[in-house]
Structure 1
């Protein structure tokens, strides 16, 4: 009987983990460039005591957090620094730990020091590292990621290229989400810039999380949890009935 209870408890844990991911998706339905990244499978593990036989087989949720890079909706903003990246392209950024990571978030900002960042504050990378712009009266970004400026105080409308955003192609790559919300390859390799990836100015990519899908999953998980609780109660009743039989035999 304790084996049954142990299995049910682990099944409840699996459901709780899936619920936590669903809540995260629901919280990010309006986050620019957000991607769903929960890939899981329930596997069986044996609990082994040292010097003894396998005493338990329990379910365990194995997750690999594979990022679903299916393009989200195009949200027109008209802002020249807002970028929508084509296909399965990604922006290269500098992660908080100093390593190169990737994102689909294209709401580009310019700090007071002229540094380009994403809306989340991650440094945008170019061919030679983080991009810093000189004082400028106007900034625009070409389809190939080239950053052009009109220098402050300069007459005319001649734009000067100063950097190129590093755009990479994640097609045929297994991308995983990091704890900081950025993406990396499964083997943590650095991707090379891809000239075939382009950006569209004046638009950003909407979240790929669907509030309807998230709500349906929440309902499904809730019902599954209730069923597991019911099995737990039945196990308790069976255990009580079994103990009564033992007392009667005695």
Structure 2
């Protein structure tokens, strides 16, 4: 069979994968702290006799967009935005420590601090659970202080501290769940100083115009590749007809 069919088929398959990634980015354009996955593909030479004039498309990994999202002031006491190289430690679905920029925190019925997606937020000693209180503040270093029930506004008690780590993009890898993890599997070092801004959230870093242009471009690319597959099929049928006529 003509190798052009394989070239078109692998290209169409890779385009579908990139469409799925781009659509996932679009769907999370308003998700707090979301980091967009980058589109990528690679080429591999078609092996066999003949001139090396054709290549197959192959899956490639470009990682994730390291740009920060915009900061929005909310005034909510449980919302936190983190410094550019600071990440909030959470417990992933697999039980391992993972990192996120999603700072829209909330308390569940048992007083455990969680992200909006339900992941337990980690402190220095594990998941953070807070007692009932009249008020709550989160300091720049991640320290959580509460105003105990029945006390005045001048009374604050420190009850925990967010585990915030410092990491460069080279130290992190993005999982399929959108969470970051240490490349070597070891827990990252805690961040120091004022790395937390209370009453604010970092938005998604998805570039909407760019993602929309990518969606249109990928759709046209897929259409071209399917037309090429149809052309290869027509050529094969014409060749079979000619072979029967001359046989």
1:1-46, Cα deviation, whole Å (9 max, x unpaired): 4322122111110000000011111111111111112353314277
Name 2:125's counterpart in structure 1: 128
1:116-146, Cα deviation, whole Å (9 max, x unpaired): 1111111111111111112211110011111
Instruction: Give the secondary-structure state (helix, strand or coil) at the position aligned to 1:173.
Output: helix
Change in CA separation of 1:19 and 1:217 when aligned onto 2, cut-off 3 Å: same
Of 144, 147, 152, which residue of structure 2 is paired with 1:147? 144
Name 2:29's counterpart in structure 1: 29
Name 2:51's counterpart in structure 1: none
Deviation at 1:172, TM superposition (A): 5.0
Instruction: Give the secondary-structure state (helix, strand or coil) at the position aligned to 1:179.
Output: coil
Whole-angstrom CA distance in 2 between matches of 1:197 and 1:143: 4
Whole-angstrom CA distance in 1 between matches of 2:203 and 2:136: 23
Does residue 7 (structure 1) correspond to residue 4 (structure 2)? The answer is no
Once the two structures are superposed, the pairs formed by residues 9-158 of structure 1 within 5 Å of their partners are 9-38=9-38, 40-44=40-44, 58-63=56-61, 66-158=63-155
Deviation at 1:191, TM superposition (A): 0.7
C-alpha contact (below 8 Å) 1:69/1:88 kept by paired residues: no
Structure 1 portions without partners, runs of 5+: 49-55
Change in CA separation of 1:173 and 1:158 when aligned onto 2, cut-off 3 Å: farther
C-alpha contact (below 8 Å) 1:29/1:209 kept by paired residues: yes
Aligned structure 1 segments of 4 or more residues deviating by more than 4 angstroms: 45-48
Whole-angstrom CA distance in 2 between matches of 1:39 and 1:9: 19
Q: Which moved more, 1:135-144 or 1:229-238?
A: 229-238
Instruction: Give the secondary-structure state (helix, strand or coil) at the position aligned to 1:63.
Output: coil
Does residue 187 (structure 1) correspond to residue 184 (structure 2)? The answer is yes
Instruction: Give the secondary-structure state (helix, strand or coil) at the position aligned to 1:75.
Output: strand
Instruction: Give the secondary-structure state (helix, strand or coil) at the position aligned to 2:60.
Output: strand
Instruction: Give the secondary-structure state (helix, strand or coil) at the position aligned to 2:170.
Output: coil
Structure 2 portions without partners, runs of 5+: 49-53
Q: Which moved more, 1:195-204 or 1:21-30?
A: 195-204
Once the two structures are superposed, the pairs formed by residues 148-187 of structure 1 within 5 Å of their partners are 148-187=145-184
C-alpha contact (below 8 Å) 1:33/1:206 kept by paired residues: yes
TM-score by length of 1: 0.89
